[in-house]
Chain A
């Protein structure tokens, strides 16, 4: 029998503040709804218990600076751990798909973590994806983000990675946090086209969303041929969401799930905790379990204006055409810098805003252009509030010998001088950390 796994972790004793949207109450009614319906008694539903992720699994994917001990990570580590629980169950073929129904969310959390962004500190899906690649040899993964906010953190983590397709369908960034997620953001020098952003106009409902999915997102997935599909299942496209302006219904979310057919869905945002979450979560879960969700109905009616018909379709079509003809324009590091290993390096500079604690991060990413692999990435980052600096060297999965060596050369050169340096050696499942030129074992308490 096909089984649908679920980890339900509402973190009833954790919040970002008493009246914060990310509070204890957020999944309370979802629990009431799902339990009362008897979903857990469906023969194909298998409930798993939550678990805590370890730091090795986090740091393989994210650089937590200045060091993990500076952050409150307990609840976030459990949300990650829950994702891994279902990842393992999927790979062990105990389940055919699964829903990680947990808080806190993660998709705004990026390659470098100096703090909480958009309610996220650790990126559940990204850590999950790299876990599956590390321990199960999964080659290609597609992450489809259906949260109303641009999945900027996930995009950032896989921006230079050709083996992870990141598609984010969201409300246009000119009208909503985090203000990114435009068509022009299409990936790095070795991964151009593996980032797909579909910004929709405020007011788009089921029709437009499903149209964008059918005509744009799903064909991209088809072409990419992923081994595994992960859905960042945010629920704030719902017409009752207080932070956004879209008009998707609970049944629309059921249909979205049915069309994406994710191997694993992970809850992201969604802050209409009474009007939407109980119904949207139910619809997603039923769709995953292959049950009829057509009777799931939120009591409220849509009161906002819904974009529909020809205008919304042609808007999406035109955007898609524009997307297809966008070409990259790289800025190469000029001349042969003393400390950069041989090869052509592309430089990307960005500034990232941490809205929860209100500070900025300054970043320079250097990517080794490579015909053979994802290319080693060297990141210099500075927390503009504390002026702390840190460096990250990432040797990618399936790195070619030249990129691998480039990574080691960078580490050799900087480990003595960097305030903080992290090596993510994804090729050999190795995470090393230097603080004030001394190597530190961050995993002493872990086995």
Chain B
């Protein structure tokens, strides 16, 4: 059996694991250096003694990294500017939605089937070119590239206008780096534009990281493919992943880490308690629930598929603030003489830190066994006014802190389950088969998570079990993630045009007007081939039921619109003892 290595970059720590024959053989933990993520990843990698595990029978099969590189760059607004060129046509006013970046607007319009209604305007093209040339000259002086995204309404049904515009600009400015909205071939126009924007903006940053990582891995004598974890919980070879898809892989990793250690048929809620955030996700019959809308990051709404994870600002290192003072930084008043801050100031007081934290409350109550008891008591007393600094009050405030944490987690679980149950449905059979009222068992992971288990079980009236390898569950998730991809087809046989949403591929349909079986085979063949080219396992391709819409003109069928999808669903290989191992 082979070796899988997983590395997860967290806000505070970066974890690494080495798994051989489905068993966790080594773990490592280093502090995250936010400005030197590549160094951090390599440090974590080097904390493992890989050489000692390798043998003729055991080779490294994959190294998978979950990194916050792009997430941080977006949130800290460190990405370069992109010229965003929009073709909004008529319809809703552009400013009805708030655009976090400036843009240029040109005419040229398609309708909902991708039929052209208005062409590009020559004069506007010339004016735009001039503007961008000037920008380009400025950038050149600063030794910066000029980036441009062209994005049109309904370009997910036809990329013709975007391509015409891009070709025109490229001819005038050959050094321009360009991307098209139609490469993100899903609705809607707003999200598609912003997703293309972020992806192009993050390209160089990501490429540098990736190339550096691969080089460093090779320099260590490892020939295994390097893979990157995506927001949807799937991994993909680093060479062909699109940078913006790597956002929010952390929460995905924790879900997968639990998945790898659970029965692949089971349904449950995952609660992963980190330093300052707790991630809550849902697994249904072994499949993690995907969010029905794209990810929201900073001021950007995107088309990036992510797992439906509720992240709340509560963790083991969350600072507890007495109500007096520091109010400005507090998120919400809890009216219990204290509140939980959304940040961390080093380790818990009982572990030698400087401020009382949630962990101190757990320690004081005897729910966790690490840390110094006397210091935990001192932490509780720091939260109380003079005159109340004695045992019954310590117990009371510690209990209140625990209750508040549990309450916040319970609330987030409620929101997640409601979201899942209330997902929109567009077909009769979906509404007639509503989602059942499960009693979800809970799987808990994270540093001091076990301290909360009893209280959470009582609050939720559910079974709560602790996940093994709780300290490095994210790294386990990265190591054991399965590859994912999907191919969503939109075919209009009357216009003889098909498109694949995920890749932006567009082509001419040469099949019949009403193609039932034929189109299913078409998509399957296309997906299998591309999966292979991307280095993904094609044998797991799953097909979803296709939708067929007969197109009628004056009581005559003139064609069909077909929507269909095949995909490699997200999932995790099982650790040994939890099911069939990889």
B 283-322 binary contact with A (CB < 8 Å = 1; else 0): 0000000000000000001000000000000000000000
- B96: chain A residues within 8 A (beta carbon): 42, 286, 291-292
B97 at the interface (CB under 8 A from A): yes
A49 with B424, Cβ < 8 A, contacts A36-B153, A297-B90 known: yes
Q: Which one of A36, A50, A52 lies within 8 Å of B189 (CB-CB)?
A: A36
Closest Cβ–Cβ distance, residue B94 to chain A (whole Å): 9
The reply to whether A41 and B561 form a contact with Cβ atoms under 8 Å apart is no
Bound-state CA distance A47–B154 (Å) is 22
Cα(A47)–Cα(B292), bound, Å = 12
Whether B425 is near chain A, meaning CB under 8 Å from some CB there, is yes
For chain A residues 255-310, which have a beta carbon within 8 Å of chain B? 278, 282, 286, 291-292, 294-297, 299
A75 to B430 alpha-carbon distance, docked (Å): 11
B426 and A12 contacting across the interface, CB-CB below 8 Å: yes
Report yes or no: A37 in contact with B91, Cβ–Cβ below 8 A: yes
A sample of 9 inter-chain contacts (CB < 8 A) reads: A19-B552, A24-B549, A25-B549, A37-B92, A42-B96, A242-B554, A286-B96, A295-B90, A295-B91
Do A51 and B431 touch (CB < 8 A)?
A: yes
In the complex, which residues of chain A have a beta carbon less than 8 angstroms from the beta carbon of B436? none
Q: Are A299 and B189 in contact (CB under 8 A)?
A: no
Q: How far in angstroms is the closest Cβ of chain B from A72?
A: 11
Smallest distance from the beta carbon of B558 to chain A beta carbons, Å?
11
Q: In the bound complex, do residue A24 and residue B550 qualify as a contact, i.e. CB atoms below 8 Å apart?
A: yes
1/0 per residue A23-61: CB within 8 Å of B?
111001101110111111110000111111000000000
Cβ 8 A contact of A32, one of B187, B423, B429: B187
A13, B561: Cβ atoms closer than 8 Å: no
B112 touches A50 (CB 8 A): no
A227 in the interface, Cβ–Cβ < 8 Å? Answer: no
Asked whether, in the complex, the Cβ of B117 is within 8 Å of the Cβ of A299, the reply is: yes
In the complex, whether B428 has a CB less than 8 A from a CB of chain A is: yes
Binding site for A on B (CB under 8 A): 90-93, 96-97, 111-113, 117, 153-154, 156-157, 187-191, 301, 422-429, 431-432, 547, 549-552, 554-557, 561
Answer whether residue A9 sits at the interface, using C-beta atoms and an 8 A cutoff. yes
Contact A286 B428 (CB under 8 A): no
A: contact size bracket: 35 or more
Question: Which residues of chain A have C-beta atoms less than 8 A from B156's C-beta?
Answer: 36
**C-alpha gap A9/B425 in the complex (Å):** 7
Q: Does A66 belong to the interface (CB within 8 Å)? A: no
Given A11-B428, A33-B91, A38 and B549 touching (CB < 8 A)? no
CB within 8 Å for A25 and B97 given contacts A37-B91, A51-B431: no
A296 CA to B92 CA in the complex, in Å?
A: 6
Q: Is the CB of A28 within 8 A of B561?
A: yes
Hey, which chain A residues are within 8 Å of B432, CB to CB? 52, 74, 78
- A41 lies within 8 A of B429 (CB): no
Complex Cα gap A75–B429 (Å): 9
Residues of A within 8 A of B117 (CB): 299
Which chain B residue lies CB-closest to A278?
A: B112
Min CB–CB distance A66 → chain B (angstroms):
24
- Tell me the bound Cα distance from A294 to B94 in angstroms: 12
A10 an interface residue at 8 Å Cβ cutoff?
yes
A14 within 8 A of B: yes
Contact of B552 among A8, A14, A23 (CB under 8 A): A23
Residues of A within 8 A of B423 (CB): 49
Q: Is the interface of B mostly helix, strand, loop or mixed?
A: loop
Q: A19-B555, A24-B550, A38-B188 are in contact. Are A11 and B93 (CB under 8 A)?
A: no
Q: Does A223 contact B (CB under 8 A)?
A: no
- Chain B residue numbers with a CB within 8 Å of A42 are 96-97
Given A49-B422, A50-B431, A278-B112, verify A39-B92 contact (CB < 8 Å).
yes
Could you say which residues of chain B place their CB within 8 Å of the CB of A78?
A: 428, 431-432
Contact present for B552 and A48 (CB under 8 Å): no
Does A282 contact B91, Cβ atoms closer than 8 Å? yes
A36 touches B154 (CB 8 A): yes
A18 close to B (CB within 8 Å): yes
B301 adjacent to A41 (CB under 8 Å): yes
Measured in the bound complex, the distance between the Cα atoms of B369 and A319 in whole Å is: 86
Contacts of A291 in B (CB 8 A): 92-93, 96
A41 touches B97 (CB 8 A): yes
A37 touches B188 (CB 8 A): yes
Other-chain residue from A28, A35, A286, A297 in contact with B188 (beta carbon distance below 8 A): A35
Q: Are A292 and B97 in contact (CB under 8 A)?
A: no
CA distance A18 to B91 in the complex (A): 30
Given A25-B551, A28-B549, A296-B90, A52-B427 contact (CB < 8 Å): no
CB of B188 within 8 A of CB of A295, answer no
Are A36 and B187 closer than 8 Å at their CB atoms? yes
The CA of A52 and the CA of B434, in the complex, are separated in Å by: 10
Contact: B92 with A9, CB < 8 Å?
no
Contact A74 B428, beta carbon cutoff 8 Å = yes
Contact B92 A286, beta carbon cutoff 8 Å: yes
> Which residues of A from 136 to 188 have beta carbons under 8 Å from B?
none
Q: List chain B residues, Cβ under 8 A from A296.
A: 90-92
Determine the chain B residues whose CB is within 8 A of the CB of A286 once the complex forms: 92, 96
Residue of A nearest to B187 (CB): A35
Q: Cβ of B189 and Cβ of A37 under 8 Å apart?
A: yes
A204–B400 alpha-carbon span in the complex (Å): 69
Extra inter-chain contacts (15) besides given A36-B153, A41-B191, A50-B431, CB under 8 Å: A12-B426, A12-B547, A13-B427, A13-B429, A18-B552, A19-B557, A31-B426, A36-B154, A36-B189, A38-B92, A40-B188, A286-B96, A295-B92, A296-B92, A299-B111
